[in-house]
Chains A and B, each alone.
Chain A
Amino acid sequence: MAESEITLHDLDATAGLAAVLAGKVRPGAVVLLEGPLGAGKTAFARAFLRALTGDPGLDVPSPTFTLVQSYDTPRGPVHHLDLWRLPGPQGLDELGWDELLRDIVLVEWPDRLGPYLPQGALGLRLSILDAQTRRAGLIGWTA
């Protein structure tokens, strides 16, 4: 799938991109957030959720431990998942994966999804260039 790339010079640039992309999602959208530890996946998700809710101070804790955190937004529920602690797709059923897909879903560490990886998912691939700068690969987004 076509992938376009942009360079994000700091966290504000990441937040700006998140706000733009937040404007493009509707219920049923799945956004896969890829990149190594420290790339800024959760920071992106935080800015994305703050843009969707219109609440710049929205508390968005890391979902690493709880696996999923859900938020009510004007565009319906948004589920923020972090599959880092999972060794693989076992257990996604019990997390209610099928039901979550009716809403907007953000997934960190989507490589754990295995066969559950949805067709047509949107993607953001973050890589670390230096302490501040990130490269973002955009997958599946329309202009």
Chain B
Amino acid sequence: MRPVLAIETSCDETAAAVLDGDGVVLAEAVLSQRDHAAFGGVVPEIAARAHLAHLPGMVAEVMARAGLGFDGLEAVAASSGPGLIGGLIVGSGFAKGVAMARGIRFLGINHLEAHALTARLTHGIAFPYLLLLVSGGHCQCLAIEGVGQYRRLGGTIDDAVGEAFDKVGKLLGLGWPGGPAVERLAASGDPARFALPRPLLGRAGCDFSFSGLKTAVAHLVAAYPAGPLPAQDAADIARAFQDAVAAVMADRARHALAMVPAARTLVVAGGVAANTAIRLALEKVAGAAGLDFVAPPLRLCGDNAVMVAWAAIERLRLGVSNSLDQAPRPRWPLDGADMRVPAAPTA
């Protein structure tokens, strides 16, 4: 298979990557939210204009670094949902333009599928496996049974876990992003000082809920006079919060493992996987059940185009590509019938 060019513009990041047919990264680039913010203070995630401004130059750059012209490509792929419609239109429109102009195949990739398959690129793991996808915007647990065969076992019924970290960080007076700041603060916190609720702990299934936990933190903080919290109190609250999240995640993962006895690996992906306490809690759950534990490198846990190219390669290997009239979809559940690979071969 010849190389594949992929584009990611579904949310904050503008990204492009070229992978060869075996999944070797020939070139990649990611322009993060922060880099965007330098360009005129436009809110990047809703600024399709920012994607549009940076994408053509970025694609030219990765193609040059890969030493390729468009004619040397097998296919061109773009994240086509779920996400913010402006960015999705820019990314998939660009990819379709290249595909049409050069007569090569196009793939509109589900962004969540790209996250779901990344561990196969980085660790070569076999189906089926369990995926916890935990980030600022995503919080779900999936059985990954084959390319296009995804079973949603549970997800958040309110806030995503990364969102809870960001909001608790805000309540504690920390900077953005909240996740790393809360973790740093929690390191010096007393785990026995405050008791916070552990939503859905022990409940059947593997749904998550973090809204009540956030509210409990807000309630603790409201008891203090206005202004910065005493440093030790803030650290103790951060620790109690992080411990509650880790306990809930471990409990939910245990339930998920029981729901998919055939799974041999537990994969955690998404920005929240950067939290050491949570990663250790999940690793312990996997170990106790005799499963391997895999966390792809953080660089590939955030939004990137390498994962989109890899998902395209997995689909191309099964003979799948998409027509140019495939529309971007702001909402696109991973367990829908349209994810299925036609005449699905055995995994």
Which of B86, B157, B160, B217 is within 8 Å of A65, CB to CB?
B160
Which of A40, A94, A130 is within 8 Å of B48, CB to CB?
A94
* CB nearest to A92 among chain B residues: B46
Using A43-B211, A91-B42, A91-B43 as known contacts, say yes or no to A131 and B84 having CB atoms under 8 A apart. Answer: no
Name the A residues within 8 Å of B41 (CB-CB).
90
Q: What interface size band does chain B fall in?
A: 35 or more
The answer to whether B218 touches A37, judged by C-beta atoms less than 8 angstroms apart, is yes
Q: Is A66 an interface residue (CB 8 A)?
A: yes
Chain B 36-61, CB-CB to A under 8 Å as 1, else 0, gives 00000111011111000000000000
Q: Is A74 an interface residue (CB 8 A)?
A: no
Name the B residues within 8 Å of A85 (CB-CB).
43, 45
Q: What's the nearest-Cβ distance from chain A to residue B8, in Å?
A: 16
Q: Is B113 an interface residue (CB 8 A)?
A: no
Using A62-B211, A90-B42, A95-B46 as known contacts, say yes or no to A128 and B219 having CB atoms under 8 A apart. Answer: yes
Which of A38, A43, A64 is within 8 Å of B163, CB to CB?
A64
Name the A residues within 8 Å of B155 (CB-CB).
61
Q: Is B136 an interface residue (CB 8 A)?
A: yes
Q: Is B93 an interface residue (CB 8 A)?
A: no
The answer to whether A66 touches B219, judged by C-beta atoms less than 8 angstroms apart, is no
**9 A/B residue pairs, CB under 8 Å, sorted by A:** A38-B219, A42-B159, A59-B157, A61-B156, A64-B159, A64-B166, A65-B163, A68-B84, A128-B222
Kindly state the separation between the CA atoms of A59 and B160 in the bound complex, as whole angstroms: 13
The answer to whether A46 touches B158, judged by C-beta atoms less than 8 angstroms apart, is yes
* CB nearest to A93 among chain B residues: B46
Q: Is A36 an interface residue (CB 8 A)?
A: yes
Name the A residues within 8 Å of B157 (CB-CB).
59
* CB nearest to A46 among chain B residues: B158
Q: What interface size band does chain A fall in?
A: 20 to 34
8 Å CB interface, A49-92 against B: 59, 61-62, 64-70, 85-87, 90-91
Q: What's the nearest-Cβ distance from chain B to residue A55, in Å?
A: 14
Which of B49, B86, B218 is within 8 Å of A38, CB to CB?
B218
* CB nearest to B139 among chain A residues: A61
Kindly state the separation between the CA atoms of A139 and B49 in the bound complex, as whole angstroms: 36
8 Å CB interface, B152-185 against A: 155-160, 162-163, 166-167, 170-171
* CB nearest to A91 among chain B residues: B43
Kindly state the separation between the CA atoms of A65 and B137 in the bound complex, as whole angstroms: 5
- Which chain B residues have a beta carbon within 8 Å of chain A's beta carbons? 11, 41-43, 45-49, 82-86, 136-137, 155-160, 162-163, 166-167, 170-171, 211, 214-219, 222, 330-331
Kindly state the separation between the CA atoms of A90 and B222 in the bound complex, as whole angstroms: 31
Kindly state the separation between the CA atoms of A94 and B52 in the bound complex, as whole angstroms: 13
Which of A46, A65, A90 is within 8 Å of B136, CB to CB?
A65
Name the B residues within 8 Å of A46 (CB-CB).
158
Q: What's the nearest-Cβ distance from chain B to residue A56, in Å?
A: 13
Which of A37, A40, A59, A66 is within 8 Å of B171, CB to CB?
A37
Name the B residues within 8 Å of A40 (CB-CB).
215
The answer to whether B49 touches A36, judged by C-beta atoms less than 8 angstroms apart, is no
Kindly state the separation between the CA atoms of A68 and B45 in the bound complex, as whole angstroms: 12
Name the A residues within 8 Å of B47 (CB-CB).
91, 94
The answer to whether B158 touches A94, judged by C-beta atoms less than 8 angstroms apart, is no
Which of A42, A59, A67, A94 is within 8 Å of B211, CB to CB?
A42
Q: What's the nearest-Cβ distance from chain B to residue A27, in Å?
A: 20
Kindly state the separation between the CA atoms of A70 and B330 in the bound complex, as whole angstroms: 9
Name the A residues within 8 Å of B166 (CB-CB).
64
Q: What's the nearest-Cβ distance from chain A to residue B65, in Å?
A: 30
Q: What's the nearest-Cβ distance from chain B to residue A117, in Å?
A: 17
Chain A 14-48, CB-CB to B under 8 Å as 1, else 0, gives 00000000000000000000001110101100100
